[in-house]
Amino acid sequence: MESLLTLLVFFPAVAGIFGFMIEKKAIRAYGIAVTVIEFVLSLLLWIMFDSSNPGYQFIEKAPLISDFGINYFLGIDGISLFLIILSTFMTMIAVIGLTIKEDLKNLIITILILEMTMVGVFAALDVILFYVFWELSLVPMLYIIGAWGSNLRIYAAVKFFLYTFAGSLLMLIGILYMAYLHHQMSGVWSFAIPDWQAMPIDFTTQLWLFGAFFIGFAIKVPMFPFHTWLPYAHGQAPTVGSVILAAVLLKMGTYGFVRFSLPMFPDASVYFITPVAIIAIIMVIYTAMIAFAQEDMKQVIAYSSISHMGIIVIGTFAMNAEGITGSIFLMLSHGIVSGALFMLVGVIYDRTHTKLMREFGGLASVMPRYATIFGIMLMASVGLPLTIGFVGEFLSLLGFYKISPVMTALAGTGIIIGAVYMLSLYKKSFFGPLTNPKNSQLKDLTPQELTALTPLVIMVVWLGVYPKPVLAPIDNSVKSMIVHMEQKAVTPEAKSLLVKANSIKEAE
């Protein structure tokens, strides 16, 4: 088990390469088997994880380019553990629910390569290794949208690639300058994340570096005004692409804030709390209002996804344990719920070849199982208590309430608008008389679709009622990170806020 992380990272890619030798008729079963094994391995990681240890565990390190301090360096803490499990779980669910038949072999191989890059991003503790996985993740998703998407798939794929790649280039400049700073201070080259987190940086330099990393992460989230690529990507991507994009790829941006921006640039993070919060509130309210105006069911969920990501950003920049822990939990809940909603839209699209709400109406009488699961996911999306969506949203907003009650109240209005457009969607599509006679013959969920969706329903209810097994390891690592931020902060404002926000008395 000493190489469990290496196995987790590279097993899907190796299996994908061997997939070229599998017969077409067996490729679906092969893909499901590989993703199930990968998910079981990630659960084994959780079982062996020491929840009382807030530091990095399962560390693996080997030199790659010794002269420049570039190493094969893997490790996880409570923050990255569950994002890895989310990646393996949602990839497994997406493959089980696959309905695409054309060129299925290449699609499954592409998904397995994408899974390697996602797990690699969350497991890498060397910045160059992180950056390689970060960039590689663009290629499979570009291919999935461009090859299996809808009519405007090429435009959507290129826009997705150009936006995210441009942000990555700015981040690369910040990475190279950070390495140069470390060399100037210590006399040795290092790209290890723990080394960078321990490195003292003056306030002005922090501001510039924070900006370089922030742009790269903000585009990935995506934050306003860099969000315009996402509705196109979701609208044109096949269902499996939308599920993985919403469930995992967007979380790379918010994970970057927690792993890089906060611990490496604590003073700059505190300095930019207000502007970042304003942008996040615009995300929450503006995209929620756009979602309400949509006629396309998939676009409603796409803009809703951006709105909920705004709550995650607000929690992340609360600078206290409640907010940051809540934001990480919300990453998990958003991944599960948004992934499920996109899969549910795919179900109805496969049957009717339309996503327009005016083409539906009265579906609950024809597809009761479908309507029930959609209703559960909708309730989780709007943050109904005892569902997974409530826990993360409540903690994120509770954490930011300590920073600004007014801004928190504004962010909370987004949740109210979210309830309005989601309930409106449900009313138009599922209640009332059957408006389209063609829909009277629609089949309810198939055993394959139920197999994919049932685990998501279980997760939504289980972690909504009893989130402690997930919250405790996250909280330990977050509290350790906040103590580090307090010790590293150089400006009185940052130190005061971090101490006050966490109710810790500053030592005389």
How many Cβ atoms are within 10 Å of 118's Cβ, its own excluded? 30
HSE at residue 470, side-chain half, CA atoms within 13 A, is 27
Residue 2 in this model has a pLDDT that exceeds 80: no
Mean pLDDT computed over 128-145: 91
381, 419 contact by CB (below 8 A): no
* Residue range 44-68, pLDDT digits in tens: 999 998 888 888 888 888 888 888 8
Amino acid symbol at 232: Y
- pLDDT given for residue 508 in this prediction: 30
* Residue range 452-461, pLDDT digits in tens: 999 999 999 9
Instruction: Name the residue with tokens 């723990």.
Output: 194
- The verdict on whether omega for the bond into residue 433 sits within 30 degrees of 0, i.e. cis, is no
Amino acid symbol at 472: A
Distance, in Å, from the CA atom of 451 to the CA atom of 344, rounded to the nearest integer, reads: 13
Instruction: Name the residue with tokens 């829909």.
Output: 439
- Percent of the chain whose pLDDT exceeds 70: 98
How many Cβ atoms are within 10 Å of 66's Cβ, its own excluded? 9
- pLDDT given for residue 336 in this prediction: 93
Q: How far is CA 494 from CA 10, 181, 223, 486, 502, in A?
A: 40, 22, 24, 8, 12
Distance, in Å, from the CA atom of 359 to the CA atom of 355, rounded to the nearest integer, reads: 8
* Residue range 488-506, pLDDT digits in tens: 877 877 777 777 766 643 3
Residue 317 in this model has a pLDDT that exceeds 60: yes
- pLDDT given for residue 19 in this prediction: 87
Residue 41 in this model has a pLDDT that exceeds 90: yes
Residue 414: pLDDT band by 50, 70, 90 thresholds?
confident
Residue 161 in this model has a pLDDT that exceeds 90: no
- Burial tier of 263 (Cβ tally within 10 Å: 0-12, 13-18, 19+): buried
Q: Which of 61, 71, 54 is nearest to 5 (CA)?
A: 61
Distance, in Å, from the CA atom of 392 to the CA atom of 316, rounded to the nearest integer, reads: 11
Mean pLDDT (the chain) is: 88
Mean pLDDT computed over 189-218: 88
Mean pLDDT computed over 429-433: 84
* Residue range 319-347, pLDDT digits in tens: 888 899 999 999 999 999 999 999 999 88
Mean pLDDT computed over 412-421: 87
Distance, in Å, from the CA atom of 26 to the CA atom of 273, rounded to the nearest integer, reads: 52
- pLDDT given for residue 37 in this prediction: 94
Residue 352 in this model has a pLDDT that exceeds 80: yes
Both structure tokens of 120: 């690699």
- pLDDT given for residue 506 in this prediction: 39
Amino acid symbol at 280: A
Instruction: Name the residue with tokens 């539906």.
Output: 360
- pLDDT given for residue 490 in this prediction: 77
Mean pLDDT computed over 2-14: 90
Distance, in Å, from the CA atom of 240 to the CA atom of 111, rounded to the nearest integer, reads: 9
- pLDDT given for residue 432 in this prediction: 79
Distance, in Å, from the CA atom of 10 to the CA atom of 4, rounded to the nearest integer, reads: 10
pTM: 0.92
Mean pLDDT computed over 272-296: 90
Question: Any bridge partners for residue 76, and if so which?
Answer: 57
456, 463 contact by CB (below 8 A): no
Distance, in Å, from the CA atom of 194 to the CA atom of 224, rounded to the nearest integer, reads: 30
Query: CB-based contacts of 253: which residues, under 8 Å, 6+ apart?
Result: 217, 218, 219, 220, 221, 222, 223
* Residue range 222-249, pLDDT digits in tens: 888 888 888 888 888 888 888 998 888 8
Between residues 502 and 177, which one has the greater pLDDT?
Answer: 177
Query: CB-based contacts of 299: which residues, under 8 Å, 6+ apart?
Result: 231, 234, 235, 291, 355
165, 216 contact by CB (below 8 A): no
